Amino acid sequence: MSASEKPAGASSPGPASSPAAEPPIETEGLAVSAPKSVAGGLPAIASTLRHALREMGASRSAHTLSEVNQKGGFDCPSCAWPDPDGERSRFEFCENGARAVADEATRARITEEFFWTHSVASLAGQSDLWLGSQGRLTRPMVLEEGRSHYEPIGWREAFDLVARELGSLASPNEAVFYTSGRTSNEAAFLYQLFARQFGTNNLPDCSNMCHESSGAALQPVLGMGKGTVTLDDFLQARAIFILGQNPGSNHPRMLTALQQSKRAGATIVAVNPLREAGLLRFRHPQHVVETLVGPGTALADLYLQVRIGGDMALLKGIMKEMLAAEDERPGSVVDRAFVEAKTAGFPEFRAALDRVSWDDILRESGVSRAEMQEAARVAARSDRTIVCWAMGLTQHRHAVATIREIVNFLLLRGSIGKPGAGACPVRGHSNVQGDRTMGIWEKPREAFLAALEKEFAFQAPRAHGYDTVSAIRAMRDGAVKVFFALGGNFLSASPDTEAVATALRRCALTVHVSTKLHRAHLVTGRRALILPCLGRTERDVQESGEQLVSTENSMGIVQSSRGGLEPASPELRSEPWIAAELAHAVLGSRSGVAWRELAADYDRIRDHIARVVPGFEDYNRRLREPGGFALPNGPRSGAFPTDDGKAHFTAQPLPVSSLAPGELVLMTIRSHDQFNTTIYGLDDRYRGIGHGRRVLFLNAADMEAGRIGDGDFVDVTSHFRGQRRTWRKVRAVPYDIPRGNAAAYFPEANVLVPLDSVADTSNTPTSKWVAVTLEPHRSLA
C-alpha cells in the first residue's frame, strides 16, 4: 500500500524518522489541452533554448552544445541512438539531448551549506523536479546513523567507511554493486573487476529493468543478444515496423532517421496503444523552411493501436496472413532459399502458428483482421524490413516470447543479415549496452570469466549473482547489507516503490555515486554516502594528463567521449577513479591489480579490455579514429553464432490475458519533459499535459462506464496475487487509447508495479502490464 495523502514534508508510513519514499502529491495548476499530431518544429527549438539558457547561459550553451556527439567531443548523456558515420551536423543533438546536457552542465551548485539547512526528511517532501533543479553535487557527504542531515566527509574517510562495512560482511554476497547505463566502458570494466575480486557476481544494472528481455530473447535464436542493424540500414529499408516505442519523446534523434527512410521510399508501420505525435508526423528543427511553414513529413503509413500486451497476438495474425498468401502463391512471400539455408525450426513454428485461432488473436490484440491484412501486405512487399522496439515490449510477462516472434517475422522474409534489414532494439541509456559488454552482468559467461582470470591472475566467482529484482528481495530479507550504486536513481527507477524503500532502509550502508541530488539519496540504510562524480561534459584530468572515455551505442559502435567544461567542483572525481580507489581501499594487498596506475591513465584500462573482451583488439588506436569502430556482429552479415550456425524459428504459445471484472491494464510511460527518472519540467507537450504529472490516461468510454468525469481525481489500486497497492489522488484524462487500457507516468506510478510480477526468463518488472481498479479519490487526511 502506498503512502496516504500527505502534505509536503510529512513522513511516510512506518518509523517517524523515515523520509517519504514517494514524491509529494502535487495536483494544483495541472492543465490539459488537445494532444499534438506533429513532433519537432518550432516548439522543439523553443524548448531546447529555454532549458539551455536557463541552466547554462548563452555562451556556455553555445560552447557545450557544439561539442555534443561530435567526433572530437563528448557522447550525449541521454539515449543510446547512434551518430552518423560521415559528416555530422554542428547541431548533432535533439531536444532531449540538449536538456540532458543542460541539466548536467548547469551553473547551479549544491554545497555543504545546503545540507546544513535542509534535513533529509524535509528534502523528501520536495518534488523530484525540485530536487534535480538544485544543481550539481560538489563534495562527498555522509549521513550517519540517527542523524537528520548529511555532513561533509573526505574521500579517504568515505572509502575507509565503505571498506570497514564490506570487511565486516559474513560473505561477499552480502553486498550488491549496481550500475547505471551512464557509466563509461572504462569505469564499468574496473567496477565489475573489483566486484569479482571482492568475491561476488552481484552486479545488477538498469538493463535488468529495460532491455534484459531483448538479450534473453535474441541470444538463443540469433547467437547474439544485440541488434543487427546500423544507422545506414534505415536508408535502405523498404519497410520499418515500430513496436512499443515512442521515439518522439524517448529517442528524438531517431525521427531524423525515420524521415530519411520515408523520403527514400520506406513504408512505416507504427504499433502502439497510445496515438503518439512522434509516430505521426515530424518537422525537422534544423530544416528552416520545413520548420516555419511546411507540414513536415508524415511518418506512419499504418498505425495499429494494439491493446497493451497484445503485440504477440498481432504478430501472429500478421504472419498467419503472410503464410496464407504464401500458400496461395508459393514463393511469393516466404524467402524459401534463406529459410532452408540459414534457419532451423520452420516446420515446428508453422505448425504451432496454424493451431492459433483467429478468435484468440483478434481478442488479445484488439486490432482488426483487415488492419492485420494491410500490415501483412506491407511486410510481403518488402524484402528489406527493420523491426524496432523498446520497453513497450520488454516489460511484459511474455516479453521474451514476443521478441522471438519478431525474429520469426523477420526470418520469414530473410530480413536478417543483409543491408536495410534486421532487428533493432532501441536502448534508452547512453551506455547500457556497453556496460553489459564490459561484464556488468550477474550471470557472466564462462569465456568472459576465464579471460578475466587469465589477465588478472585471480579466481573469479562462478555462482550467479542478484539481478535488480532479486537484489531488492535480498535487501528486504536481510541477505544483503551493503548497497553501492555507480550512478542511477535506484529507488525511483525500480518497481514497487515502497518495497524498494523498505529494502534500502534495512541495509547497514547505502552508497550512491551521483552528479545531482535525487530521491534515492533520501531513503537510505542506517548510514549513507553520496559520492559526487564528474559528468560527461567535464574535463577529466588524471596524473598522466587529460583523459577520454568510451561508450557503446545501441547499434554496437564504440566511440570516444571527451568533456570540455571545467568540473563543477575541485572535489569531483571521475567514475574510473572512484572504482579504482574503492578497489584499492577494500582489497588492499589481496589484489595484484595496480588500481591507482589504471586510474592515472585510462589507456592502461583499455589495454586490459583489449585482451579480455572480444572485438576490442587494438582498442586505444581504434578508439581514436574519427567516429570510433564497430564491434563484430555476425547476424548483421548473415552468420549466426548459434550451436548449429543457423537462426532459429521458435514456437511461442499465445498468452491469454485474464482480468477480473472492473479491472483495467495499466502501463507506465515517460512524459516529454523527462529522461528516465530525471524530471526536466512538468509539461508533456505532445500529449497536451501542462504543469503536472499526476495523471491517468483513460479511454473516454471506460471513463463513462466508470462514471469518471474529465478532470476527476481517482485512487488507483493494483492487484497481484491478492496484494493491493494504491496510488492516490490522480487526475483522470481522456485519451486516444484502447478500451480497457490506461497509462501513467513513471516514476510516480511505480508504486503500483508489484515486485514479484516479472517477465518469464528475463525477470524484468512488468511495468507495462499492471492490473488496476479505480475508485473516486477519498482523502485520508
Mean pLDDT of 542-557: 95
CA–CA distances in Å: residue 296 to residues 44, 250, 278, 707: 13, 19, 12, 39
Instruction: Give the residue, 290 or 194, on which the prediction is more confident.
Output: 194
* Beta-carbon count within 10 A of 15 CB: 8
Looking at the chain, the whole-number percentage of residues with pLDDT higher than 90 is 83
The yes-or-no verdict on residue 2 having pLDDT over 80 is no
Its pTM stands at: 0.95
**Distance from chain centroid for Cα 419:** 27
3-state secondary structure 258-312: HHHHHHCCCEEEEECCCCCHHHCEEECCCCHHHHHCCCCEECCCEEECCCCCCHH
* Per-residue pLDDT at 290: 67
Q: For 286-332, write each residue's pLDDT tens digit.
A: 776 666 667 889 999 999 999 999 999 999 999 999 999 999 999 99
Q: For 456-470, write each residue's pLDDT tens digit.
A: 999 999 999 999 999
Q: Which residue has the cell 502490464?
A: 769
Mean pLDDT of 528-555: 96
Let me know the angle formed at the C-alpha of 315 by 314 and 321, rounded to the nearest 5 degrees. Answer: 90
Amino acid at 532: P
Mean pLDDT of 506-519: 98
Mean pLDDT of the chain: 93
Q: For 642-680, write each residue's pLDDT tens digit.
A: 999 999 999 999 999 889 999 999 999 999 999 889 999
* Beta-carbon count within 10 A of 620 CB: 17
* Per-residue pLDDT at 579: 98
The yes-or-no verdict on residue 17 having pLDDT over 90 is no
The yes-or-no verdict on residue 14 having pLDDT over 80 is no
Mean pLDDT of 676-704: 95
Residue 70 phi/psi, 5° resolution? -85, 155
> Domain residues of the chain, as ranges?
31-37+658-776, 40-104, 109-208+431-633, 212-425
Looking at domain 31-37+658-776, does it have CATH number 2.40.40.20?
yes
d(CA 639, CA 660): 47
The yes-or-no verdict on residue 3 having pLDDT over 60 is no
Question: CATH for 212-425?
Answer: 3.40.228.10
The yes-or-no verdict on residue 15 having pLDDT over 70 is no
* Per-residue pLDDT at 583: 98
Nearest partner of 421 among 376, 373, 372, 382, judged by Cα:
382
* Per-residue pLDDT at 8: 34
Peptide bond into 19 cis (omega under 30): no
d(CA 735, CA 696): 9
Grid coordinates belonging to 763: 525477470
Q: For 379-389, write each residue's pLDDT tens digit.
A: 999 999 999 99
- Beta strands 509-514 and 482-486 are parallel
d(CA 91, CA 68): 8
Q: For 214-271, write each residue's pLDDT tens digit.
A: 999 999 999 999 999 999 999 999 999 999 999 888 888 899 999 999 999 999 999 9
Grid coordinates belonging to 187: 569505469
CATH class of 109-208+431-633: alpha beta
The yes-or-no verdict on residue 191 having pLDDT over 80 is yes
Task: Please name the residues in contact with 156: beta carbons below 8 A apart, sequence gap of 6 or more.
Answer: none
Grid coordinates belonging to 122: 524535509
Q: For 603-642, write each residue's pLDDT tens digit.
A: 999 999 999 999 999 999 999 999 999 999 999 999 999 9
- Helix (H) or strand (E) holding 17, with range, is none
Mean pLDDT of 117-133: 96
* Per-residue pLDDT at 10: 32
d(CA 181, CA 553): 11
Nearest partner of 667 among 753, 555, 731, 759, judged by Cα:
753
User: How confident is residue 717, by pLDDT bands cut at 50, 70 and 90?
Assistant: very high
* Per-residue pLDDT at 658: 87
* Per-residue pLDDT at 266: 98
Instruction: Give the residue, 353 or 15, on which the prediction is more confident.
Output: 353
d(CA 650, CA 400): 11
Instruction: Give the residue, 46 or 565, on which the prediction is more confident.
Output: 565
User: How confident is residue 130, by pLDDT bands cut at 50, 70 and 90?
Assistant: very high
Q: For 36-75, write each residue's pLDDT tens digit.
A: 999 888 887 888 888 788 888 888 888 888 888 888 888 8
DSSP state, residue 153: -
d(CA 193, CA 35): 48
Amino acid at 253: R
Q: For 746-757, write each residue's pLDDT tens digit.
A: 999 999 999 999
- Beta strands 713-720 and 723-734 are antiparallel
- Beta strands 141-143 and 136-137 are unpaired
CA–CA distances in Å: residue 553 to residues 64, 549, 721: 21, 13, 39
